Chains A and B, each alone.
Chain A
Amino acid sequence: MAGELPFEMPLVEMRKKIAELKQFGEEKGIDFTDEVARLEERYRVLAEEIYSNISAPQKMHLARHHGRPTSLDLIGLIFTDFMELHGDRLFGDDLAVVGGIAKLNGMPVTVIGQQRGKDTKENILRFFGSAHPEGFRKAMRLMKQAEKFGRPIITFIDTKGAYPGNTAEERGQSEAIARSLYDMSQLAVPVICVVIGEGGSGGALALAVGNRVLMLEHAIYSAISPNGAASILWKDAGKAEQAAEAMKITAADLLAMEVIEEIVPEPRGGAHHDYEATGAAIKDAVWRHLQELSGLDSAELKEDRYRKFRKIGEFAEGAQESAILEEEVQNVE
């Protein structure tokens, strides 16, 4: 299969060898059955080893894989009767965000996702999945619409970050993101967010203030892209892999920090190997969480969401640390 990442190269090499051996045997009429079986066994062991130890930098590449399913791919697999709705009613229709009404197991829901393009042409149209203020405002308009009609909201996160540009700044990129955080925290319907690819910075968080936040197994989520962090910290964007490691961006890291509620498993080697299986796993998880939330009334849903974010953060309350600090300050003086 095309699109293998560098860490998968040993497997590609081995597959090639096996194929060559088979072909050679056929051509020459020599029986290599045992050798092929041995190699295939070794391949299975190696594949198991490689795919069960995918590192943070490797996940970064998987999350950005060009063949990875996008929001629209997954919407088509998870929901029925999707009807896309457009525009923020203020400025325009940002194609970096898609949204509309659909049915999940027969229940009407509002679904919103950040949308990358499949090729360069589409990526230019969709700003590589980086939303302008109108994208966030469209999302919020659809969320308020969902709230009015009592529909649960499901969002898919997949962006390098909000669009960094003059036009976005002029139209209030900061305000659009901030307002989204503010308004999502107050929604009176269940909100479930799934990070499906790259969750980059405030642009990702703007659609991720949910009662439940789930992540695909190889998705990543961080305050700044590893490339950005590397260029700020070490003045070298090439050290993105090192930053990816240090920044704890994987689903397992975020589950341990209680930032997310669940990791949704991916097919072996990543979501791009099997769209259907990925869609089915997300559907199962989202449905389960929706059922869990179905007993809560609107005030309880708001409270639940508030509590989820309120508890995040690690710090020391005081006395001891500050005593050490004072001592240090005195020493410096």
Chain B
Amino acid sequence: MFKDLFQKKRKYATIPSERLERSGGPAEGERPKREIPEGLMSKCSKCGTIQYSKELEKNFKVCPSCGYHMRLNAMERIAMTLDPEGFIEFDSEMASVDPLQFPGYASKLEQQQSKTGQVEAVITGQGTIGGHPVIVAVMNFEFFSGSMGSVVGEKITRAVEEATEKKLPMLIFSTSGGARMQESILSLMQMAKTSAALARFGEAGGLYISIITDPTTGGVSASFASLGDIIIAEPGAVFGFAGRIVIEQTIRQKLPDDFQTAEFNLQHGQLDLVVHRKEMRSTLTKLLELHDVKGGF
């Protein structure tokens, strides 16, 4: 078929930027502007391959050349994973205050809100996956590096309490740089609060599936993200307590290349599954179905 010919040709169009830079090509700022409409093409931040944004969307924002799972914001994640109809958001207006009067926090919050159009770093609500009703919390790395302050802790706790009340499975998609320093101790305490809520939910027999997405570290990694009955990660997702840089600086240890990736964690017994994004929906549907006894509990 002619189609095959064209497909072959399309491969030639990809220009890994790395090679460009190595061969002494112009630096980022100096490069002459090309007449490409904004957003038409996307570049993989891992391998540098350039492709049509539409193609990338169709491929779940996974790079077709290297398999890199690009970061999604919470809305994209919900659209990609939940059934299209019937998502009801909880506490959509809950916003951070500046309890410690921390220098620069109030303006940083405003800046994050106008940058992302989101109020905070997590969206919680009720929806269905493959027809199975679930309570979900989806974190947003775009907003303040997905850091957990009082609002993230409170929204997740309320969602877990709702799941306990309604006897529904709980799903949390984590991505976070850790605690929100600007709320110091209050942010630390959200780790205990969310974990305690999950303990009650667990005691009541609730199913909790934790999905680790890139990156999940610090206080989120060391609380609810690690407490799933089943813990799933996307390929390549960084999942760990102390960041690579912190470890290299404090302990001066040589770290393996795949340190804290999903694959590393799977090998060390910290995960149940590593699941490609395009199979996430079907995997979750199957798991929900396997637990679908008396409506979930």
Contact = CB atoms under 8 A, between A and B. Distances in A.
Interface of A: 162, 164-166, 168-175, 177-179, 181-183, 185-186, 201-202, 205-206, 208-209, 221-224, 228-229, 232-233, 246-249, 253-254, 257, 259, 305-306, 309-310, 312-319, 321-322, 325, 328-329, 332
A201 B93 contact: no
Contacts of B150: 312-315
A265 to B, nearest CB: 21
Nearest to A253: B185
Contact of A313 (B117, B186, B251): B186
Nearest to B223: A178
Contacts of A162: 222, 241-242
Which 9 A-B pairs give the minimum distances between C-beta atoms?
Answer: A318-B93, A164-B242, A313-B150, A185-B196, A181-B195, A178-B226, A223-B188, A322-B93, A177-B222
B186 A259 contact: yes
B219 A186 contact: no
B199 A315 contact: no
Contacts of B227: 178-179, 182
Given A221-B185, A313-B150, A313-B186, A209 B114 contact: no
Interface residues of B, number: 69
Nearest to A160: B250
A162 to B, nearest CB: 6
A148 B83 CA distance: 45
A10 B226 CA distance: 50
A251 to B, nearest CB: 11
Nearest to B268: A170
B192 interface: yes
B93 A321 contact: yes
28 contacts: A164-B251, A165-B247, A165-B253, A166-B247, A169-B241, A169-B260, A173-B240, A177-B241, A178-B226, A179-B226, A181-B195, A182-B196, A185-B199, A205-B192, A223-B183, A223-B188, A229-B181, A232-B181, A246-B103, A247-B102, A247-B184, A254-B185, A305-B196, A309-B193, A310-B196, A313-B154, A316-B96, A328-B113
Contacts of B92: 318, 322
Interface centre among B192, B202, B250 (most CB of A within 10 A): B192
B219 A223 contact: yes
Contacts of B110: 328
Given A202-B191, A248-B184, A332-B114, 18 more contacts: A162-B242, A164-B251, A165-B251, A165-B253, A166-B247, A166-B256, A181-B191, A181-B223, A205-B192, A222-B188, A224-B184, A229-B181, A249-B185, A310-B196, A314-B97, A314-B186, A321-B93, A325-B113
A166 B114 contact: no
A166 B178 CA distance: 18
Contacts of B256: 166
Contacts of B38: none
Contacts of A325: 95, 113, 119
A164 B221 CA distance: 14
A322 B95 CA distance: 7
Contacts of B99: 257, 314
Interface string B95-132: 11101101100000010011001010000000000000
